[in-house]
Amino acid sequence: MFEVDAVGLACPIPVVRVQKAMASHPNEPLLVKVDNRAAKENVTRLAQNKGYSVIAGQIGEEIHIELTPRR
């Protein structure tokens, strides 16, 4: 699972980093770490539009978003 650490970054930077990770690691699950609700919502929307399933959960101050490509 490839990890994208976007903690402390404001949108659109988390979305841009996730787009790059999707392009460079196609068909591979991604773990995205963010720390604000806007980034979570925007990354989730992007992933769903690109055909990924999304599972998100809070761990301390961080939000972890697991993105799995649908086959």
pLDDT value at position 9?
Answer: 97
User: What is the set of domains in the chain, with CATH numbers?
Assistant: 2-69 (3.30.110.40)
- Cβ–Cβ < 8 Å for 30, 4: yes
Q: How far apart, in whole angstroms, are the C-alpha atoms of residue 49 and residue 67?
A: 12
Residues 3-60: tens digit of each pLDDT = 999 999 999 999 999 999 999 999 999 999 999 999 999 999 999 999 999 999 999 9
- E-strand ranges in 1-71 read 2-5, 30-34, 52-59, 62-69
